[in-house]
Amino acid sequence: MISQRSSISTEPACEFFTFTARAAKEAAELVAQSHEAPLYIRLRAEFHAGGQLEYSIVLVDSVSDSDTKVSTQGLTVFVDETSLRYFIGTRIDYEEDTPLPRFVIEIPSASTSCGRSESFSSCPR
């Protein structure tokens, strides 16, 4: 269980991003599989070489005092202040009918670039 820190801002309902029912279920199952330390869902957007923005969904075992805590669809998601603006309007889905099941972040403003890994995709559909 996470202890609420007063410096972590909390958003009651998610205006920033949405998880599909399938993605919320998969994310909740991943968090529930933690047997030793509690795990938390973190969304992150980082700039890399060439100014390319990379989106990620990760499980972490700690949160920062500057994180924004967002409760949505039965999930508690943490996003750092800088990344939060890049997730506005995004839809997070989970594709399980592919050779490599993965989370997919649909970004309405990203029409020319995308990122992929074995478990994650940010390519527009």
13 domain residue, yes or no: yes
What CATH number should be reported for the domain holding residue 110? 2.60.300.12
**Which structure tokens are listed for 28?**
């909740």
Query: Poorest-confidence range of 19-23, 34-38, 56-60?
Result: 34-38
Over the chain, what is the mean pLDDT?
78
pLDDT at 125 over 70: no
Domain of residue 39, residue span: 9-121
**Residue 109: what pLDDT?**
65
pLDDT grade for 15, boundaries at 50, 70 and 90? low
Tokens 């997070």 correspond to 92
93 domain residue, yes or no: yes
Average pLDDT of the residues in 15-28: 90
1 domain residue, yes or no: no
74 domain residue, yes or no: yes
Q: Which residues pair with 35 in a beta bridge?
A: none
Tally of structural domains, the chain: 1
40 domain residue, yes or no: yes
More confident residue, 123 or 13: 123
**Residue 37: what pLDDT?**
80
4 domain residue, yes or no: no
21-28 CB contacts, 8 Å cutoff, 24+ apart: 21/73, 22/93, 22/94, 22/96, 23/92, 23/93, 23/94, 23/103, 24/72, 24/73, 24/74, 24/75, 25/94, 26/94, 26/96, 26/103, 27/57, 27/75, 27/94, 27/103, 28/74, 28/75
